[in-house]
Structure 1
Amino acid sequence: MTVHGPVMPIWSCGGCGLPWPCATRKHELLAEYADAPVSMALYLGSYLVQATEDMPWTPAGLLHRRFLGWTRENGQAVPAVRRPGSATVPAEIEPR
């Protein structure tokens, strides 16, 4: 259990007082979700929704970068899901 959890409704870090998620928590999350980046994005996305309700004056883009944007900056891009037999381009519509 980390001490770097969010203090709501101001969304600061309970461990260091910086805006949550702080650098320490980000490193912890990357380690915790190393094999599950989509799960980490869903987890952080749920906190993003709560933060937008608690801080409606904060620009949406800023909150998005704070809660989710950093996940791709660290080379942890969410992999695309490719199902066997699925087309990579939309099928052409046949004329009537």
Structure 2
Amino acid sequence: MSLHVPTRPSWACAGCGHAWPCSDSRQQLTIEYADARVSLSIYLATNMVEAMTDLPAGHGGDLRWRFLGWL
């Protein structure tokens, strides 16, 4: 089990305090979903939508890059 999981409503990483998905969680997710990239995209997009409801308005483009842009 990874320590690099999101905390709500801030969407900071529980393990390192950086914005989730942090670099460590990205690496872990890439390994975990190595054979299921579409599933990883769906997982991250679902989290992005949840983050959009928790975080202040105006972060849409930033959240898109943060959650999906690195794929």
Mapped pair 1:52 → 2:30: no
Residue 41 of structure 1 corresponds to which residue in structure 2?
A: 41
Aligned-residue CA RMSD (Å): 0.8
TM-score (structure 1 length as normaliser): 0.71
Which whole-Å CA distance do the structure 2 matches of 1:10 and 1:3 have between them?
16
**Which stretches of structure 1, 4 residues or more, deviate above 3 A after TM superposition?**
none
Measured in 1, the distance between the counterparts of 2:56 and 2:45 equals 16
Deviation at 1:56, TM superposition (A): 3.2
Q: Any gaps of 5 or more consecutive residues in structure 2?
A: none
- Structure 1 gaps of 5+ residues are 72-96
Cα deviation, 1:12-38, whole Å, max 9, x if unaligned, reads 000000000000000000000011100
Q: Deviations over 1:33-60 (max 9, x none)?
A: 0111000000001100000000132421
Task: State how 1:1-96 maps to structure 2 within 5 Å.
Answer: 1-71=1-71
* Bigger helix share: 2
Say how many residue pairs are matched. Answer: 71
* Identity percentage of aligned residues: 46
State TM-score, norm by structure 2. 0.95
Q: 1:8, CA displacement in angstroms?
A: 0.4
Aligned to 2:70, what secondary structure does the other structure show?
Answer: helix
Q: Higher relative contact order by CA 8 Å / sep ≥ 6: 1 or 2?
A: 2
